[in-house]
Amino acid sequence: METGGTAYYLYCILPQGRLSHLAAGGINGGEVFTRASGNLAAILSEVRVADFCGATAEARLMDLAWVGPRACQHEAVIEEAMRQSPILPARFGTLFRSIASLDEFLSCQTDRIASFFHWLGDRREWAVKGMVDRARAQTPHSAEGQANTADALPGVAYFQRKRNETSAAKELNQRLKAICREVALDLQQASNGFRERRVVDPAAGESPSEVIASWAFVLPPAAEEEFRQRLERLNRLHISTGLAFRLSGPWPPYSFAPLLASEGQI
């Protein structure tokens, strides 16, 4: 792959005429600009192809110290645009070889992108994470099982404790999964879209709470307060189980955006 020269870095796509101004700077300090194409517009900046493609770029893209600030720049542009218009966010590192290839991409995908904006309307994505403090969530039977091993011989007691711990952990996981299913179904009744997301626990080992569920919901602004209140009610209901459900957002609609591909992309 040719890694010399520059390419056009795509941040997001939006309906034409909805954006007034962008103050955020682009990746590596590049100037952000808008390219109109029919009823759509793309937010772009120029970058060096070598920063994202080729053998040396592969190592950089695995380096959080390099990726982190640029990912933040990527998100800053998208979030500023999102405050002015519905958007279809692009993934980090989406490049086009030329403006012509971008125009061809937008032309080919116009109907699909327009359908997405029609469905999205003024709604926004919100995230809910299910957190559990396992020390608080232990089943009542665990204490009973420990008591049953008190009079056993040391070797026998050890294996009995291990069996009890395994059984208690399995029972706890089943109970937590059942509660999370009930909560997700309850919240879906107050939303217009739902996606289950991959669970990532960045605080693993640093916090007593563990992420066990990750969901995305689409909500119109008028329904956001009702959704918050519903979530607070569910948290009060399940506080004794060691479970807590945390709301964050609004976020760019990554979880609901259609996957778009083009021959013009690098």
- Residue 1 confidence (pLDDT): 47
Radius of gyration of the CA atoms of the chain, in A: 24
What is the per-residue pLDDT across 60-69, written as a single tens digit (0 to 9) for each?
888 899 999 9
> Dihedrals φ, ψ of 48, to 5°?
-80, 130
Side chain identity at 127, as an amino acid letter?
A
Q: In terms of DSSP bridges, do strands 40-48 and 33-37 run parallel, antiparallel, or are they unpaired?
A: antiparallel
Q: Is the pLDDT of residue 46 over 90?
A: yes
Q: Is the pLDDT of residue 38 over 80?
A: yes
Estimate the crossing angle of helix 224-238 against helix 154-188, to 10 degrees. Answer: 160
Q: Give 32-47 as a DSSP string.
A: PEEEEETTEEEEEEEE
- Residue 57 confidence (pLDDT): 82
Rounded average pLDDT over 144-150 = 50
Cα 132 to Cα 179: distance, rounded to the nearest angstrom: 11
> Dihedrals φ, ψ of 143, to 5°?
-65, -40
What is the per-residue pLDDT across 2-37, written as a single tens digit (0 to 9) for each?
556 889 999 999 999 888 888 888 998 889 999 999
Going by C-alpha positions, the residue among 160, 137, 163 that lies closest to residue 148 is 160
Rounded average pLDDT over 221-248 = 94
Give me 13's structure tokens.
Answer: 């796509």
What is the per-residue pLDDT across 226-238, written as a single tens digit (0 to 9) for each?
999 999 999 999 9
Give burial (CB, 10 Å; 0-12/13-18/19+) of 96: buried
Q: 124-251 adopts what CATH topology?
A: Alpha-Beta Plaits (3.30.70)
Which residues sit opposite 61 in a β-bridge?
none
- Residue 205 confidence (pLDDT): 52
Give me 86's structure tokens.
Answer: 């519905």
Query: Is it true that the peptide bond before 250 is cis, omega within 30 degrees of 0?
Result: yes
Going by C-alpha positions, the residue among 132, 237, 239, 251 that lies closest to residue 195 is 251
> Dihedrals φ, ψ of 120, to 5°?
-70, -45
Q: Is the pLDDT of residue 141 over 50?
A: no
In angstroms, what CA-CA distances link 244 with 56, 92, 185, 210, 224?
A: 43, 31, 16, 10, 19
**Boundaries of every domain in the chain:** 6-120, 124-251
Place of tokens 């994505």: 125
Q: Which residue has the higher pLDDT, 53 or 43?
A: 43
Q: Is 58 helix (H, G, I), strand (E, B) or coil?
A: helix
Rounded average pLDDT over 105-113 = 93
Q: Is 171 helix (H, G, I), strand (E, B) or coil?
A: helix
Cα 42 to Cα 31: distance, rounded to the nearest angstrom: 14
- Residue 257 confidence (pLDDT): 93
- Among the listed ranges 46-50, 138-142, 196-200, which one has the minimum average pLDDT value? 138-142
Cα 258 to Cα 198: distance, rounded to the nearest angstrom: 17
Q: Is the pLDDT of residue 148 over 60?
A: no
- The beta-strand segments (E) located in 134-230 are 193-196, 209-219
Which percentage of the chain shows pLDDT scores above 70? 81
